[in-house]
Amino acid sequence: MVLAGDAPRHTRYSCWVTRQDDTYVMLYNDNRYEFDISRATAPAIGGPWTPDPGNPVITGEGTPWAHRLEDCTVVRRGGEYLVFVDDLCYSQGTPYGIPLYRTRDIREGPIEFGELFVPEPDTRGRFRWDSGSLGTPGACLAPAGRVLL
């Protein structure tokens, strides 16, 4: 939950917390915005959490997944934060893609679109994920700076 003024406010979907220097940063789906990612910061993991005045910080504006972003996972690699986002682009057999956003300053900098990961179909034209879609990607940093999705 984050503060909206002095009132606590529940987030709509799950959140991801990371740390930059001495500040905790939470990316979350706020129930004030339909499927966009917002940001809040706090001096300690227990809060108090303060929403970014520029929320939402990731909207997907100008993309097929505009205002259809749900959960996200954050990985820090080489001084850069990679934000992998679950989107709601599943339509007519087209699988979810995994939008990747990037920033060097997760605390207050802009978070910009980097690229979209889309699975390759197998030889029969089916996608390798059983359901033909992907929900809530998880990412972690693996050896040699690789990111495991």
Cα dihedral 67/73/76/80 (nearest 10): -10
pLDDT at res. 91: 47
pLDDT at res. 80: 93
Cβ atoms of 119 and 130 within 8 Å: the answer is: no
pLDDT at res. 107: 93
Mean pLDDT for back-to-back runs of 10 residues, the chain (149 residues):
53 74 89 77 91 88 73 87 74 61 93 79 64 63 82
pLDDT at res. 87: 66
pLDDT at res. 72: 82
Distance CA 37, CA 99 (A): 12
- Full-model pTM: 0.76
Distance CA 92, CA 114 (A): 25
pLDDT at res. 47: 86
Cβ atoms of 65 and 71 within 8 Å: the answer is: no
pLDDT at res. 25: 94
First to last CA, the chain: 27
